[in-house]
Amino acid sequence: MALKTPQEYLDSLRKLNLEVYLFGERVKDPVDNPIIRPSLNSVIMTYELAQDPKYAELMVVDSHMTGEKINRFTHIHQSTDDLVKKVKMQRLLGQKTAACFQRCVGMDAFNAVYSTTYETDQKYGTEYHARFKKFLEYVQREDLTVDGAMTDPKGDRGLSPSQQEDPDLFLHIVEKRADGIVVKGAKVHQTGIVNSHEVLVMPTISMTEEDKDYAVAFSVPSDTKGIKIIYGRQSCDTRKLEEGTLDRGNPKFGGHEALVIFDDVFVPTERIFMCEEYDFSGMLVERFAGFHRQSYGGCKVGVGDVLIGAAALVSDYNGTKKASHIKDKLIEMIHLNETLYCAGIACSSEGHPTVAGSYEIDMLLANICKQNVTRFPYEIARLAEDIAGGLFVTMPSEKDYRDPVLGGYIEKYLKGVASVPTIDRMKVLRLIENLTLGTAAVGYRTESMHGAGSPQAQRIMISRQSNLEVKKQLVKDILDIKG
């Protein structure tokens, strides 16, 4: 079975025995928890679209290892065409969910670990690549969702992993056994972990020899003994516990992040993909970050499409659609959104083969892509708020709207254009609230800033890739300056 149906995916998640905590209590059934469920619905969409022949070209691909049809989220990119299709797939998913659909972190981790293990083996004669391929075949065959786990808590940012007062602030090896290793530490901001079958752990920064215990990569099932998941809060999250769906803004979809503790977790040898090869941790980090910076040129653009659509629709409902400044603001939003997409597509079509034969993005352009993402969604959100008017943060609740007496006043006084039902106007305003200030603002705004690395991380990469000497030489050539 290489493509799971949404139902099969749900059934497989129910079989996991995850240790998830939310509001101080263990969650008995994460699949049916009302706070978590919208994020699960977003991941389900990655399975659902793969079943639809209309989207087969983007969602389904032949495995380069087995030749089987697989979901692109488990694929190793074999060409620039694959890289471009990845971004298009992510834009599509963003459009369908208006949320983070979580499955990209695993896909980006597969591609980074695939090429890095190959090069590690070349230097050290290790067998990580073969092990990883075996694991990946299992992932593809079972159509699994995998959490790509990179970010450590990091403690004092001025100190390296081994210099920290508390040695667990970066995940590390605490014991080596004949049959595997034991690791301890944590990963923060873990996207989609509760909806994942496996967690694929990578180091978070480049390391030196003193930090070799921290240079570790592996995958284990997400319900492995010792893994504890503490679910992250989001603005307005408890609205999902209320009756009705209007006040949620996005009634069906969402995303999530969590703090994941690894409390002496055992990793069997066949699942270890890096073990003390500290000189390859930087390569792995750069590649994963590069792929995820490319990803944002797809997913954030898809969510941006929905936000632009919401701004346009609410201007119809407000009766402002003919105002020239509204038209101009919508044009500006589109310009910014498509500029993000341009960089996502450009870094993909300018991609190149790795030593392992898989394809990776152009690193400079992927970092430019993400640097733009740290800015433009904020401006797109600002313009959406401008067009919407203040009502999206002052509107009464759904409960008031449903009240037999109060509802009449709300219906009457919150009406915009006479032919549009008030409830429709309220729905769109709540969606704008959700995307700019509510649960989805995690994915659309703050994650645009910090996800796949904070802005300064991209600026360091841009500086490294900028090749200023070549540019200076251009000037010298034009001006006949020698030496």
Residues assigned a catalytic role: 100, 104, 191, 257, 292, 296, 299, 447
Positive or negative torsion for Cα 274, 280, 281, 286: negative
User: Please, which of residues 146-165 interact with ligand SF4 by CB under 6 A?
Assistant: none
Q: What is the DSSP letter of 62?
A: E
One residue of 190, 295, 315, 436 binding ligand SF4 per CB under 6 A: 295
Contacted by 315, from Fe ion, ligand SF4, none: CB < 5 to 8 Å by type: none
Residue span binding ligand SF4 (CB under 6 A) among the ranges 10-18, 55-63, 169-177, 291-299: 291-299
Closest to ligand SF4 by CB, 304 or 443 = 443
Pairing of strands 180-187, 198-201: unpaired
Cβ atoms of 298 and 91 within 8 Å: the answer is yes
CA nearest to 351, candidates 75, 87, 65: 87
Is 191 annotated as contributing to ligand binding? yes
State the minimum distance, in angstroms, from the CB of residue 303 to Fe ion. 12
**Residue 448 engages ligand SF4 in binding (rule: CB under 6 A):** no
DSSP labels for 149-179? Answer: E-----SSTTS-GGGSSSGGGS-EEEEEETT
Closest approach, Cβ 86 to ligand SF4, in A, equals: 10
How big is the site for ligand SF4, counted in residues (CB under 6 A)? 12
What's the min distance (Å) between Cβ of 94 and ligand SF4? 7
Distance of CA 288 to the CA centre of its chain: 12
Residue 435 in contact with ligand SF4, rule: CB under 6 A? no
- Which of ligand SF4, Fe ion, none does residue 101 bind to, with CB < 5 to 8 Å depending on kind? ligand SF4
Q: Assess 297 for contact with ligand SF4 (CB under 6 A).
A: no
How many angstroms separate the CA atoms of 382 and 399, rounded?
28
**By CB under 6 A, residue 117 contacts ligand SF4:** no
Name residues whose C-beta falls within 8 Å of residue 230's C-beta, 6 or more positions apart in sequence.
21, 22, 258, 259, 260, 261
Among the residue ranges 124-132, 275-283, 292-300, 385-393, the one whose residues contact ligand SF4 (CB under 6 A): 292-300
Give the strand order in the sheet containing 198-201. 146-149, 198-201, 216-221, 272-275
Residue 312 near residue 330, CB atoms below 8 Å: yes
| Shortest distance (Å) from residue 283 CB to ligand SF4 | 21
> Of 145 and 219, which CB lies nearer to ligand SF4 in the complex structure?
145
Q: Hey, what are 16's tokens?
A: 């996991």
Q: Which of 151, 89, 138, 79 is nearest to 110 (CA)?
A: 138
Choose which of 47, 101, 317, 376 interacts with ligand SF4 (CB under 6 A): 101
Residues interacting with Fe ion, by CB under 5 A?
451
Helix then strand then coil, in percent of the chain rounded to 5, is: 55, 15, 30
Binds 102: which of Fe ion, ligand SF4, none (CB < 5-8 Å by kind): ligand SF4
Q: Does 294 bind ligand SF4 (CB under 6 A)?
A: no
Binding partner of 295, given Fe ion, ligand SF4, none, CB within 5-8 angstroms per partner class: ligand SF4
Q: Which partner from the list Fe ion, ligand SF4, none does 299 bind, CB cut-off 5 to 8 Å by kind?
A: ligand SF4
How far is residue 42's CA from residue 37's CA, in Å, rounded to a whole number?
9
Instruction: Report the residue count for the chain.
Output: 483
Q: Quick check: helix, strand or coil at residue 134? A: helix
Asked whether position 451 contacts ligand SF4 by CB under 6 A, the answer is yes
Site string for ligand SF4, 188-207 (x = CB under 6 A): ---x----------------
Contact 149, 202 (CB under 8 A): yes
Q: How far apart are CA 440 and CA 237, in angstroms?
A: 10
- Where is the binding site for FAD, in residues? 191
Q: Which residues bind ligand SF4 (CB under 6 A)?
A: 100-102, 104-105, 191, 295-296, 299, 443, 447, 451
